[in-house]
Amino acid sequence: MISFNENTQIFQLDTKKTSYCFGVYNDGFLMHLYWGEKLPVMGEFEQYILVQTKALSPQDNGLGGWSTNVARMEYPTHGGADLRRPAFQCTFDDGSAVPRLRYAGHKITDGKAVLNGMPCVYSEDGDKVQSLEIELVDKRKDLHVFLNYSVFEDYDVITRSVRVENKGPKCKIDACLSASVDLPEGRDFDFMHLDGCWARERHPQRTPIFCGTQTVDMKNGASGHYHNPFVCFPEHNADEDHGRVYSLGLLWSGEFVGGVQMDSYDTMRVFIGVNDFGFGYTLETGETFQSPEAALIYSNNGIGGMSRLWHKLTRERICRGKFRDIERYALINNWEATYFNFTVEKLSAIADRAKDIGLDLLVLDDGWFGIRNDDHTGLGDWFVNREKLPEGLDGLASEINKRGMKFGLWFEPEMISPKGCQLYEKHPDWALHINGLEGTLGRFQLTLDLSRDDVCDYIIEAVSNILNSANIEYVKWDMNRYMTEVGSDKLPQERQCEVKYRYMLGLYRVLETLTARFPNVLFESCASGGGRFDLGMLYYMPQTWSSDDTDAVERLYIQHGTSICYPYSSMGAHVSVCPNHQVGRVTPLKMRGNVALPGQFGFELDLAKMTEEELTEAKRQVEVYKEFGEVFHRGDLYRIDDPMTSDFASMNFVSEDKKRVVLFRHVIATHPSCRFKYTKLKGLEPEAIYVCRENGKQYSGAMLMNIGIAWNHKRDYESEMFVFEKK
Ligand code: GLA
């Protein structure tokens, strides 16, 4: 899987279908050579790249007149001949900021070590995984930079991360990206990313790459609603099913930067890592810095082919724990049903109906703790409000358990309310703050300083106490504001630029401890909906509340975009009431169900107010979910009609054993005398015969894929689900 040719000094990292090559040139320059379709035989340097000097490029000593400015570099730095965006940058004790990293050695090992204290792609017994560590050294300053690669052969994935060890005098890291790859022919490619905002997360954007730099980033402490730590680069003509696509995803829930710089010679430098804006990390002699991990996926089967690789990787080698491989709970959440105005009676009435329709779990959302009747007060005081819950959480959990259902609870542990909060009265300095500056409130709250160990310990104990106090089997872990005035009393002046990075390490410690301590609790992450939907969070919590927008049509866009990188098994998706609370739209219950079904399904409305007819439909949906959850969550997704560019949304799932196929199709907007429309399924066996459950007819896979299923749609929001079973 990983080979090194001593003669040519070339490394080749092979997955099942891809190769990734780089080499050591002229005693120390680490050059990127190739990433793409698998190469059966390794070549020599000149066979991979054009060695040519361009006028005016500074010439590196030792490079024989060649210039790193026109070369393809494996881990570029700034200050020498390469004038493009660096992956690594630091300032030394003498004020100089020119790291000169040269190859000093390497190690190839079987398997892969986990990253200490950070999320990472992990291997399991039987996986074909090998790792490579490249050591780069700045001899002048005795600074050692280790590039870590792992090859997950069967997953067609390469991971990369970087560790810096300072053996020389004190220095400050200014940038340390997790991955940077210089690829040729940038002019033929597009830059695609997932952007949005609150309640409109992860809409795909795609633009041609131009000469210059295009980036997406987050600067406020979370991976964010506005952009997502995932970037991909399809060829101009690549579509859902064909063409070459490069992609990079970051296992990190804090701020990031990802993007591409295309130089004047069409080389595109694609990169991803911790945002270097406002970042700095001081290394005393003997200290170490670890970057988060990036995963790299190349596919020549279009964007759909790339997505399926990300889905499998995320489901099987990023998500962990007991809930990774089992079907999770169909739940009812009281948020949109009651908001803060819940009572035990209201919750019991909802639970009665939830039981009738076969739901597994009731989640009590915000408002059960401290003084919390709206979002102005109470965060941080994680003790139960007995006025609202006279029998405590234990009493309420027993009420729910009596009905044969499980009980789950909402927390927002990373936050503190400056008003109406005992914790803030005792520890105002526990909030992130800059002395002498008034803190900016977000949703009336401040962010706790998780770069501090004592704050993290408080959260661990406060949440543990609650989880131990009642039979709580699910946690919704929310986070509802971005960071501002980021400063910590516990760190010296020169380390204030480390706070946001250290915050994430603190949060990851908290999550690692709690998820290990409560392995039978299902954790779902949330950040005002999908404000922290990233691969890092999914390492600790296998599902994320996709968006606060529960409207069926809006969800089609959000879930479509999310599925570009993330599997449906990671998307919390609930049926809510109409008119919809976010956009006022009225859609049929059937459509709302069909849109939510492939995700982690549930309801977010007052079941006690539903009519008998609606309850019958809701019950049917729960039954469908229980029957086909496994197809949606372990099978392969094929996107068919793209809701972003058409009036329709459709997709089919093919089960892992290839025996069951489920097709969903939705009409977003219809038009009079509309055109004939067929939905052509994907991913089937052409020769196999499939029986359609809905109409009893038999179809060959070839028919379904080439003729498709005709639509006779007449109304907006018509929505259908078809099941095909292989004979
Ligand atoms: C956030 C979440 C919602 C809900 C509220 C409660 O907005 O995304 O689902 O939990 O907080 O305040």
CA of 457 to the centre of ligand 1 (A): 24
pLDDT the model gives residue 56: 72
Q: 407 in ligand 1 pocket by Cβ < 6 Å?
A: no
Compute how many other C-beta atoms are within 10 angstroms of the C-beta atom of residue 579. 11
- Count Cα neighbours of 333 within 13 Å in the Cβ-side half-sphere: 28
Active site residues: 478, 548
pLDDT band at 702 (very low <50, low <70, confident <90, very high): very high
- Cβ–ligand 1 distance for 76 under 6 Å, the answer no
Per-residue confidence (pLDDT) for residue 414, from 0 to 100: 98
The finding on whether 365 has its CB within 6 A of some atom of ligand 1 is yes
- Residue whose C-alpha is closest to residue 17's, from 45, 40, 42, 47: 40
pLDDT digits (tens, 9 = 90+) for 668-687: 999 998 888 999 999 999 99
Residue 54, pLDDT > 80, answer: no
Residue 27 has pLDDT above 90, yes or no: no
pLDDT of 65 > 80? The answer is no
CA atoms within 13 A on the CB side of 108: 11
Indicate if the pLDDT at residue 216 is higher than 90.
yes
Q: Which helix (H) or strand (E) holds 582?
A: none
Q: Which of 336, 377, 410 to mutate to test ligand 1, by most ligand atoms within 8 A of the CB atom?
A: 410
Question: Mean pLDDT over residues 50-75, rounded?
Answer: 79
Smallest CA separation from ligand 1 atom 2, residue:
528
> Is residue 584 left, alpha or beta, with left meaning phi > 0 and alpha meaning psi from -120 to 50?
left
C-beta 526 within 6 A of ligand 1: yes
Average predicted confidence (pLDDT) for the chain: 97
pTM for the full predicted model: 0.98
- pLDDT at res. 371: 97
Q: Measured between alpha carbons, how far is 417 from 23 in angstroms, rounded to an integer?
A: 53
Q: What is the band of 62 on the pLDDT scale with cuts at 50, 70, 90?
A: low
Mean pLDDT over 472-495 rounds to: 98
Distance from residue 727's CA to the centre of ligand 1 (Å): 45
Atom of ligand 1 nearest to the CA of 528: 8
Q: What distance in angstroms lies between residue 225's CA and the mean position of ligand 1's atoms?
A: 14
Which residues make Cβ contacts (< 8 Å) with residue 712, sequence separation at least 6?
none
Distance 478 CA to ligand 1 centre (A): 7
- How confident is the model over 619-666, as pLDDT tens digits? 999 999 999 999 999 999 999 999 999 999 999 999 999 999 999 999
Residue 452 has pLDDT above 90, yes or no: yes
**Domains of the chain, start order:** 2-317 (2.70.98.60), 331-417+449-484+507-633 (3.20.20.70), 641-726 (2.60.40.1180)
Q: Residue 482 C-alpha to ligand 1 middle, in angstroms?
A: 14
Per-position DSSP letters for 669-703, written without gaps between them:
---TTPPPEEEPP-S--TT-EEEETTT--EEEHHH
- In this prediction, residue 626 carries a pLDDT of 98
Residue 58 has pLDDT above 80, yes or no: no
Closest ligand 1 atom to 375 CA: 12
The string of pLDDT tens digits covering residues 582-599 is: 999 999 999 999 999 999
